């Protein structure tokens, strides 16, 4: 597995390495003894214990067996799979086209009942109009995807919006004011999208907040992210898609969302900002 530059992923690898090192110590083994029992070169143990090399599932099984802790194997393999799944490069996710990438998140959306999303650049997918989504995905396709299945991908994203109509689900969206004026698409597309924001904000299970531009310099920049219930955070970065499931990290994003929510305006004040952006279209 290639090493990601993400501090989140490296931290998760370090947690796994720490557990393996503690297991070895509890078994009364040093690195050379463990390596001999596993049939490895001692340097391999050092690399795994130092989180410089990610172990394979077979490596974990051998490690647990050498330490007499076969009962730990399943849990450690599950932790490894979680680390492996935290970082997905865009080019690998989208290799077969954008439709498949859109479909991949459907199960997550269907099982989630409390959605929180913060966006610093684009209108979140669940709130997008057909035209806005088409412009977003077309830009992605032209930049990095050889397969042109934009129309199919847009259809999948539009179908995903059905979760908004489920009154048993809750949605909280926070947008930077700059999102209202990002210039994506032509004036008609932008106007339709802004009108859609106003309409969706009136739904009883949906909250739409706008963080005024004047507050931008009062805090550090935050990447866009989604929080699904209290189980998972998805962060969209330039080079990859980061999935966080560690409770402490999910809580960190939840706290950040709450801070941003306190800065945002809602209701009439939010609609006034949206109307101003619409009027600016000319």
Answer for the pair 231, 254: CB distance below 8 angstroms, yes or no: no
Q: Are residues 167 and 271 in the same domain?
A: yes
Indicate which CATH number applies to the domain containing 160. Answer: 3.30.870.10
Structure confidence at residue 213 (pLDDT): 87
- Per-residue model confidence as pLDDT tens digits over 24-44: 999 999 999 999 999 999 999
Q: Report pLDDT for 95.
A: 78
Is residue 76 located within the same domain as residue 99? no
For residue 171, is it within any domain?
A: yes
Number of domains in the chain: 2
CATH label of the domain that carries residue 57: 1.10.260.40
Is the pTM here over 0.85, yes or no?
no
Asked if residue 253 lies in contact with residue 260, where contact means CB atoms within 8 angstroms, the answer is: no
- How far apart, in whole angstroms, are the C-alpha atoms of residue 84 and residue 181? 37
pLDDT tens digits, one per residue of 116-144 = 999 998 999 999 999 999 999 998 888 88
Q: Which of 58, 87, 116 is the endpoint of a domain?
A: 87
135 close to 184: Cβ distance less than 8 angstroms? yes
In a domain, 1, yes or no: no
- Domain hosting residue 52, numbered range: 7-87
Same domain, 80 and 203: no
What is the token pair recorded at 175?
């947008």
Q: Mean pLDDT highest for which of 76-85, 87-96, 273-282?
A: 273-282
Grade residue 218 by pLDDT with cuts at 50, 70 and 90.
low
Are 105 and 64 in contact by the 8 Å Cβ rule? The answer is: no
């Amino acid at each position: 597995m290639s090493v990601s530059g993400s501090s989140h992923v490296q931290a998760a690898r370090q947690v796994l390495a720490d557990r393996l090192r503690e297991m070895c110590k509890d078994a009364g083994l040093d690195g050379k003894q463990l390596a001999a029992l596993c049939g490895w070169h001692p340097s391999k143990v050092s690399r795994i214990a130092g989180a410089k090399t990610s172990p394979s599932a077979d490596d974990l099984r051998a490690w647990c067996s050498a330490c007499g802790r076969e009962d730990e194997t399943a849990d450690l393999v599950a932790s490894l799979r979680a680390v492996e799944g935290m970082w997905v490069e865009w080019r690998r996710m989208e290799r077969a086209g954008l439709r498949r990438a859109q479909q991949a998140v459907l199960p997550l959306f269907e099982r989630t009942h409390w959605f929180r999303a913060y966006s610093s650049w684009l209108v979140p997918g669940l709130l997008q109009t057909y035209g806005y989504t088409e412009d977003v995905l077309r830009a992605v396709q032209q930049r990095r995807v050889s397969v042109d299945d934009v129309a199919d991908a847009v259809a999948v994203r539009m179908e995903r919006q059905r979760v908004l109509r489920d009154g048993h689900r809750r949605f909280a969206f926070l947008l930077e004011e700059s999102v209202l004026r990002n210039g994506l698409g032509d004036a008609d597309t932008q106007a339709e999208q802004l009108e859609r924001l106003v309409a969706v904000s009136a739904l009883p299970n949906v909250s739409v907040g706008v963080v005024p531009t004047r507050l931008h310099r009062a805090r550090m920049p935050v990447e866009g992210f989604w929080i699904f219930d209290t189980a998972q955070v998805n962060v969209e970065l330039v080079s990859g898609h980061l999935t966080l499931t560690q409770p402490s990290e999910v809580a960190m994003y939840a706290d950040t969302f709450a801070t941003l929510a306190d800065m945002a305006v809602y209701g009439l004040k939010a609609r006034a900002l949206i109307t101003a952006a619409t009027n600016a279209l000319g």
